Amino acid sequence: MLHRFRHSIASFSLPTRLNNPFHYTPHPLCELAARELRAYLCERKEWTEELSAGKMFGVLVVKDPAGTVGFLAAFSGNLAGSNSHEYFVPPIYDMLRPGDFFRTEEASISDLNRQIETLETAGRYRELLRTIEETETEVAREIAAAKARMRIAKTAREARRREHPDENTQTALVRESQYEKAELHRLKQSWKNRLASLHAQRTSIAERIESLRCERKARSAALQAKLFRKFRLLNALGEIRDLAEIFAPTPQGTPPAGAGECAAPKLLQYAFEHRLTPLAIAEFWWGASPKGEIRRHGHYYPACRGKCGPILAHMLRGLDVEPEPDRACPQSAPELLYEDRWIAAVFKPAGMLSVPGKSEAPSILDWARERYPAATGPLVVHRLDMDTSGVLLLALTKEAHQDLQAQFKHRTVRKRYIALLEGRITPPKGRIELPLRPDLHDRPRQAVDPLHGKPAITEYEVLEFRNGRTRIAFYPLTGRTHQLRVHAAHPSGLNAPIAGDRLYGTAGRRLLLHAERIEFRHPATGDRIAIEKPADF
């Protein structure tokens, strides 16, 4: 499992502390290890089709007790239907091992799924549902027809009563009315009995389906709980905790599916078990991007927050790890662009928060409160991502804030962003519609989700192409989190990440995205006003 480098690494400097798995630039030794791993993957022709669909791999540079440096390799999930392959570290727990409780119980749950599907799709059940629907339609039609006939008969009786008939005729008219009412009651009762019989047959099958569903849910939960206890994770201090213990104090309370199967935990577990000292770690994507996410072949990625965050917080205890940097570091000071009695516009530099976050980092709201102590209302009307620079509106009165918020809500505010994208974009103009939602396992990243995502619409116009990059103008019609970044980078969007995008592309000095212009109706004067701050890139 421990691989020696094929070429001399005498010229490489060893890292003095482990890089932070959630924020790093790959160490040269990790890049060398990744190249050797990629060469190995290319040799395994039988995996070509599976790998082309996309998978995350990881490498961990380590030092053994004798001081020799080598590396470990791992993959996320399973590969070719197995968790164990000679070149890679083993899983923390091999649930796919023949005879393991997981496979046995999984087969039983799969059998429940088949039983449910058989009952739901069986001809008898479907025929019952169709018959009930048709019968209810027929019932409504017949009862409506009977009531219509009764209304006609009633009108005729009322006409005869106005003729002052004799007593026998009046008695006959009363009996006729009573008979019609009784007939309607008998008709309703007849249909009610018939429908009750059909519903009883349907209920019998539906109750069996629901019983199987409840059994499936209970057995699945029990299986997951048992599986989580089997994942016993080490750290550098020799402490062992299972997944259930690790996730118990987190907001979600229970481990998400797939927890403990990512590359980073596998690598660290093997290192601790074999007295290897972790020196540097990196993960890279191989193959096509998943439909909802943005992954680029060969690019390095940080560990995911949702699954690996709590796990690595435990596993890294006892190691000297680089702290996660505070990204809230403004590259310049805010600049006032416009000001009157009701509103102001300010230039927000890249690296500055719009509103205060979890850290003590300064924000535009802090700046505004200090400059406008007499202002009423929330001040900040809208937000820009911390990594994005550009024009930000402030409302100095509560009324102005409400008015501007309404303009944003009704999409009458026009915004133009300027960005540099990696690569050439065609066609030169267009519209992108990709619904977005948070990536629940890797916040703050966003995912494309046509089913559960919120509508996100962006229009764009190519301005120029130079030195391998496209200068582009974005006109967002909605304001979703990371909308422009995802619409630029996603394969179903422009398939060209914004330069410097650490989340969806390749990290750089800064994200080259700038909110250049905003146009709106002045909340006090009613005049149409535009405020612009040209990009400095």
The 3-class secondary structure across 360-390, one letter per residue, is CCCEHHHHHHHHCCCCCCCCECCCCCCCCEE
CA 165 to chain centre: 79
Tally the C-alpha atoms within 13 A of residue 407's C-alpha that lie toward its C-beta.
23
Report if residue 130 sits inside a domain.
Answer: yes
Pairwise CA distance, residues 45 & 291, whole Å: 24
Residue with tokens 């019989």: 197
What does each of the 537 residues of the chain score in pLDDT, given as a tens digit? 899 999 999 999 999 999 999 999 999 999 999 999 999 999 999 999 999 999 999 999 999 999 999 999 999 999 999 999 999 999 999 998 888 898 889 889 999 999 998 888 878 888 888 999 999 999 999 999 999 999 999 999 999 999 888 989 989 989 999 999 999 999 999 999 999 999 998 898 889 999 999 999 999 999 999 999 999 999 999 999 999 999 999 988 999 989 999 999 999 999 999 999 999 999 999 999 998 899 999 999 999 998 999 999 999 999 999 998 776 677 789 999 999 999 999 999 999 999 998 777 899 999 999 999 999 989 999 999 999 999 999 999 999 999 999 999 999 999 999 999 999 999 999 999 999 999 988 989 999 999 999 999 999 999 999 999 999 999 999 999 999 999 999 999 999 999 999 999 998 899 999 999 999 999 999 999 999 999 999
CA 264 → CA 54, 89, 232, 281, 460, distances in Å?
17, 11, 15, 8, 38
Pairwise CA distance, residues 75 & 283, whole Å: 9
What does the DSSP 8-state code read for residue 275? Answer: T
Pairwise CA distance, residues 324 & 58, whole Å: 20
Q: How many domains does the chain have?
A: 3
- Under 8 Å between Cβ of 444 and 433: no
* Length reported for the chain: 537
Are residue 277 and residue 396 in the same domain, yes or no? no
How confident is the model at residue 361, as a pLDDT?
Answer: 86
What does the DSSP 8-state code read for residue 416? Answer: E
- Under 8 Å between Cβ of 306 and 443: yes
> What's the one-letter identity of residue 293?
E
Pairwise CA distance, residues 284 & 34, whole Å: 8
The residues, any chain, with a CB within 8 Å of residue 55's CB and separated by 6 or more, are 75, 76, 77, 79, 285, 286, 287
263-273 and 305-315 helices, crossing angle to 10°:
20
Are residue 198 and residue 219 in the same domain, yes or no? yes
Q: Strands 389-395, 513-521: parallel, antiparallel or unpaired by DSSP?
A: parallel
Q: What is the domain extent for residue 285?
A: 3-93+233-316
Q: Computed from CA positions of residues 210, 215, 216, 220, in that sequence, does the dihedral angle turn out positive or negative?
A: positive
Are residue 377 and residue 503 in the same domain, yes or no? yes
Question: In angstroms, how far is the first alpha carbon of the chain from the final one?
Answer: 47
- 96: buried, middle or exposed (CB in 10 Å: 19+, 13-18, 0-12)? middle
Reported as a single tens digit per residue, the pLDDT across 438-479 is: 998 898 999 999 999 999 999 999 999 999 999 999 999 999
Are residue 462 and residue 362 in the same domain, yes or no? yes
242 counts as catalytic: no
Q: Does the pTM exceed 0.85?
A: no
Peptide bond into 28 cis (omega under 30): no
Q: Which of 174, 203, 227 is the last residue of a domain?
A: 227
CA 433 to chain centre: 16
The residues, any chain, with a CB within 8 Å of residue 385's CB and separated by 6 or more, are 481, 482, 485, 511, 513
Q: Which of 289, 316, 343 is the last residue of a domain?
A: 316
Are residue 356 and residue 482 in the same domain, yes or no? yes
Q: Which of 187, 206, 227 is the last residue of a domain?
A: 227
Supply φ then ψ for residue 233, to 5 degrees: -105, 130
Report if residue 99 sits inside a domain.
Answer: no
Q: What is the CATH number of the domain that holds 401?
A: 3.30.2350.10
CA 400 to chain centre: 34
How confident is the model at residue 327, as a pLDDT?
Answer: 64
Q: Which two tokens stand for residue 111?
A: 């059998």
Task: Count the Cβ atoms, other than its own, within 10 Å of residue 476.
Answer: 21
Report if residue 414 sits inside a domain.
Answer: yes
Report if residue 190 sits inside a domain.
Answer: yes
How confident is the model at residue 192, as a pLDDT?
Answer: 93
CA 332 → CA 219, 329, 389, 536, distances in Å?
57, 9, 10, 12
**Angle CA 284–287–293, to nearest 5:** 75
List 242, 385, 403, 442, catalytic entry: 385
Are residue 504 and residue 433 in the same domain, yes or no? yes
Pairwise CA distance, residues 459 & 326, whole Å: 33
Are residue 148 and residue 71 in the same domain, yes or no? no
Report if residue 250 sits inside a domain.
Answer: yes
Pairwise CA distance, residues 386 & 330, whole Å: 9
**H helices within 63-166, ranges in order?**
101-121, 123-161
- Under 8 Å between Cβ of 305 and 443: yes
Are residue 88 and residue 109 in the same domain, yes or no? no
Reported as a single tens digit per residue, the pLDDT across 345-372 is: 999 999 999 999 877 789 999 999 999 9
Are residue 135 and residue 182 in the same domain, yes or no? yes
Report if residue 537 sits inside a domain.
Answer: no
How confident is the model at residue 410, as a pLDDT?
Answer: 95
Report if residue 327 sits inside a domain.
Answer: no
Report if residue 448 sits inside a domain.
Answer: yes
What does the DSSP 8-state code read for residue 397? Answer: S
Q: Computed from CA positions of residues 479, 482, 488, 489, in that sequence, does the dihedral angle turn out positive or negative?
A: negative
Are residue 345 and residue 461 in the same domain, yes or no? yes
Are residue 310 and residue 368 in the same domain, yes or no? no
Are residue 351 and residue 365 in the same domain, yes or no? yes
